[in-house]
Homo-oligomer: A and B are copies of this chain.
Amino acid sequence: MQREKLLHGGDYNPEQWLDRPDILAQDVVMMKQAHVNVVTLGVFSWSLLEPREGEYHLDWLADIIHNLYSNGIFTILATPSAARPAWMAQKYPEVRRVRSDRTRELFRRRQNYCYTSPLYREKVRAIDEQLARRFGEDPAVILWHISNEMGGDCHCPLCQAEFRRWLQRRYGSLGALNKAWNARFWSHDYTDWEQIESPAPQGEDAVQGLLLDWKRFVSSRHIDFFKFERDCVRALAPKARFTANLMYRFHDIDYHDLARELDVVSWDNYPTWHKATETVEQTALDTAMMHDLFYSLKGKPFLMMESSPSFTNWQPVTKQKKPGMAMLSALQAVAHGSDSVCYFQWRASRGAEEKFHGSVVGHDGRSDTRIFRETSQVGAALEELACAAGRQRPRQAALVHDWPNLWAMEGSSGPRNCGMGYWKELACHYNALARAGITVDLIGQDADLTGYGLVVVPMLYLLREDFAAKLCDFARAGGTVVVSQWTGVVDESDLCRLGDTPYGLTELLGLRRAEIDGLYDGETRRCQPVENAPLPLPATQASVLCEVAVLDEASPATPLLLYGEDYFADAPAAAVHPYGQGRAYYLASRFTPDFYQAFYNALTEEAGLEAAAPVPLPDGVLATRREGLLFVQNCNPAPVQALGVELPAYGTAVWQTNAGELRRML
């Protein structure tokens, strides 16, 4: 892949327009107008590539690729496995997924295949090999894109058998499995592997170890399928590089595991800008956290593979990006580590599910539209910022986010079935750090903590023993750790830790959890700062869950904030405990945004983490760094002054930074 420039382009579906050569010709002209230098082809082309079993038609695709290439436009080539043709669904029922209620799907939509089916793998191998033979060495093809937005699960007999084999490998014996799942509860001891089935509405849904392992298994199946496809292509195209397009707050796959198999991470970014219930800055922070997650997966630049130039068709209300927002969201991706701004889609489909999804070119085919004009401006800006490509980001703070933790928490019943607010908890910490201009990585429990100054551990319910030890080592060596409520509760089998909790961290924190009390939505409990505390904090309100901690007798933490009411009044709501060269903070509940801002402003100063911008920025203005570059973005719907320049509504300025000096680039 090219490193000398930022990519601009997106999904292109010429197979829908092959009977309209005039439109295909116009596409090339307009792409050049819009500064497009890359397209993604082939995502949903299987029915045309292999219209009848074993009959392959690749010439049309070669023509498109080469015509674009001769016009300076590269191709990211997708394998078509996300949507197989109707003839295959008809002839081979086993390729169709079975739902958790054990209904086999009919031919439908996409992401609809059994990833275990040997027959399906054989068919995918055949088409992928066709593509690899034809385009594996083609200079026009700069990246291979395996399948599309992988997810979902299959409960067919083949998957049931595979699940049992997976469990046998994991546990060795039924005894170990029964122990790990605490299967004796409600008399569920399994005495034959065949007794185990995937979760089902009419079957098991209360053995939480089973729920968790099923999610692990499904994730591993997707990754296995990815590897299978990648290796089919790689065998014939050894120099090919591979990605898969990931998704927002995605649930079904442990992306930490998947990322190890990718050459480059990419993702599809569809925020709901201009929501009625939040500011553009809030939406921007939510999006930023995702960009940061995708950067962190491999610790290097990623691609924004899809985004809308304008609007989507699947949100409750179609909102146009207002003037300037296309630029703001494009440059936000680059600021956070993307080497591309790509769209779904170049040209709108005439019919079917996504005919009203935003596109660079609409049904009217015009180039004098606002959207086309703003897209072209984005393209021009990316050319000016070409030097950003490939640049790294500094290591400052890490926020722990882990799939098994997420899965285990959602599989549990209690302490708050109306919502634990896991992602909201993450955002409390992330937003305050991002607003303070700190670069945040989102890491899993396998991560190396070297280089970070601060590690934040929000709701790490399933805390691994090795990671608890790593956190202690990190603090001992001078790092700062922040631990929130509902951390260190269960082991990797979702079995409650016996003994004091947060398990593995009580010595680090100088306290233990005694109780946890749930609050109803809207309920709060007053909290007051301790006078003369080592860290001055504002009064605030606790919500959602209130942990009641008991200080360690031998080496107690120092309370910073106390609950001010209810039966747990005067228990610590926040505390700090020195540990080796570093220290650990404990937060017993969820507080108000201003609390987190004050808390992290103080902490990052204490930890010596440098803010992105040299001076404070106005409200709603966010600063982000890549090696040698500073991006400042105005999320307000009105102009502001920042770093001596006027930023228009939704405007962005970029500076080159060199030994503290700023030189404006954009």
Contacts and interface: CB of A to CB of B under 8 A. Distances in A.
Given A105-B203, A195-B107, A416-B318, A182 B517 contact: no
A202 interface: yes
A416 to B, nearest CB: 5
A405 to B, nearest CB: 16
A520 B105 contact: no
A44 interface: yes
Contacts of A516: 318
Contact of A195 (B89, B180, B412, B496): B89
Given A90-B195, A364-B498, A417 B182 contact: no
A92 interface: no
A141 B215 CA distance: 44
Residue with the highest number of chain B CB atoms closer than 10 Å, among A105, A186, A206, A494: A186
Nearest to A103: B202
Interface string A321-365: 011000000000000000000000000111111111100000111
B498 A354 contact: no
Contacts of A563: none
B187 A414 contact: no
B44 A182 contact: no
A392 interface: no
Nearest to A649: B567
Given A86-B188, A191-B86, A351 B498 contact: no
A299 interface: no
A496 B188 CA distance: 48
B355 A182 contact: yes
Contacts of A425: none
A496 B361 CA distance: 13
A424 to B, nearest CB: 16
Given A86-B190, A352-B181, A318 B495 contact: no
Contacts of A104: 202
Chain A interface residue bracket vs B: 35 or more
A664 to B, nearest CB: 27
Interface string A298-332: 00000000000001111111111011000000000
Contacts of A314: 413-414, 417
Residue with the highest number of chain B CB atoms closer than 10 Å, among A200, A323, A412, A414: A414
A84 B351 CA distance: 41
Residue with the highest number of chain B CB atoms closer than 10 Å, among A180, A189, A371, A499: A189
Interface stretch (A47-55, A117-125, A525-533, A584-592): A47-55
A197 B106 contact: yes
B567 A323 contact: yes
Nearest to A15: B184
A498 B350 contact: yes
B206 A352 contact: yes
Contacts of A418: 316-317
A84 B512 CA distance: 39
A33 interface: no
A45 B195 contact: no
Given A108-B205, A208-B353, A184 B363 contact: no
A208 B87 contact: no
A354 B413 contact: yes
A187 B107 contact: no
Given A184-B15, A187-B85, A109 B205 contact: yes
A140 interface: no
Contacts of A523: 276
Contacts of A47: 183-184, 187-189
Nearest to A50: B187
A181 B318 CA distance: 23
Residue with the highest number of chain B CB atoms closer than 10 Å, among A189, A352, A496: A352
Contacts of A90: 192, 194-195
Interface in A273-314: 275-276, 311-314
A602 interface: no
A400 interface: no
Contacts of A517: 318-320
23 contacts: A48-B184, A107-B188, A109-B206, A110-B187, A181-B352, A182-B352, A185-B351, A185-B354, A276-B520, A311-B414, A311-B415, A313-B413, A314-B414, A315-B417, A317-B519, A318-B414, A318-B415, A318-B516, A350-B498, A354-B413, A364-B512, A365-B498, A370-B514
Interface of A: 13, 15-16, 44-48, 51-52, 80, 83-87, 89-90, 99, 101, 103-110, 180-192, 194-195, 197, 200, 202-209, 275-276, 311-320, 322-323, 348-357, 363-365, 369-371, 412-418, 490, 493-501, 512, 514-520, 522-523, 566-567
Given A90-B194, A106-B197, 18 more contacts: A47-B187, A47-B189, A51-B189, A101-B103, A103-B202, A106-B202, A207-B353, A208-B351, A208-B355, A276-B520, A317-B416, A318-B516, A319-B518, A350-B495, A351-B493, A351-B494, A351-B496, A364-B498
